[in-house]
Amino acid sequence: MANTPTPHNGAKLGEIAKTVLMPGDPLRAKFIAENFLENPKLVNKIRNMYCYTGTYEGKEVSVMGSGMGMPSIGLYSYELYNFYDVDQIIRIGSAGGYADGLQLYDIVIGQAAATNSSYFNYLKVPGTPALCGDYELIEKSVAYAKANNLRYRVGPILSSDVFYGDPDAAPKWKQMGILAVEMEAAALYTNAIQAGKKALAILTISDIVLGGTPVETTAEERETKFTDMMKMALSLA
C-alpha cells in the first residue's frame, strides 16, 4: 500500500506478517524475537518501537511493541490493520488483578474490554460499541491453556486511560465483574472493529490490586518471565 512505510513504522509492505504479537514493552518484543522466533529480522526501530518478523513452528509471525496506553497502541495497530494488511493482533501484556482468587502469573483472556476512555468515539456510532475479543482466538487460547495446565480466567477487563487513578474506582469495577485492569485492549478492539480484523488481549497478572497486601512483579520479570502467555499467543499464528 502507498501508505507504507509510515512516519512511525519503517517496515515496508510485506515485511510484517499477517499475525502480530504486541507487548507494550518493546524490550519484551526483542526478548520474544530472540528467544522464540527463527531467523528474526528487525523491520522497524523508529522511536525504539522494535518490530521483528520471523517464523515460529513454520509460521510467519511478527512481534512489535505497542507502547503504553490507548493512543499509542491505537496508532500502531491502526497502521498495522489498515496499511500493512495485518489480519490479527494479539496483545500480550501485563495487568493488575481485581478478581478474587487471581495470583501473580495467572493468565487473563480478555473476552471484552470496558473502558473509561473516549477512544472509540472516532467510530461515530450512536451509542457505546461492544468492544470484544475475537471468539475463535478466545477458543484457541482456552484450548491451549487446558492442554498445558495453565492457570487462566476468561472474562471482561478494564482498559483505563489513567494509571494513577481514583483508588475507590477499583472495587466498583470489580463489582461489575471486571477481572483485571490494563491500559490498551479497548483501543485495539476498537481498531479491529473498524478494520474488520481480529484481535485478542492475553494478559499476565503482574500485580494484585485488590485483596489483601498488594504484591507485584519486577520490571525484569515482566520483560522476560511471562513465557506462558508468549507461547499461548504464538500458538495462535
What CATH number does the domain containing 100 carry? 3.40.50.1580
- Distance separating alpha carbons of residues 71 and 76, to the nearest angstrom: 9
Would 86 be classed as within a structural domain?
yes
Q: What whole-number percentage of the chain has pLDDT above 90? A: 89
Query: Which among 85, 87, 161, 207 is annotated as catalytic?
Result: 207
Would 2 be classed as within a structural domain?
no
Range of the domain at 23: 19-234
For residue 151, is pLDDT > 80?
yes
pTM (two decimals) = 0.95
DSSP string, 164-192: S--TTHHHHHHHTT--EEESSHHHHHHHH
Tell me whether residue 207 is one of the annotated catalytic residues: yes
pLDDT tens, residue by residue, 10-57: 999 999 999 999 999 999 999 999 999 999 999 999 999 999 999 999
Count how many domains the chain has.
Answer: 1
pLDDT tens, residue by residue, 56-69: 999 999 999 999 99
Would 141 be classed as within a structural domain?
yes
Would 131 be classed as within a structural domain?
yes
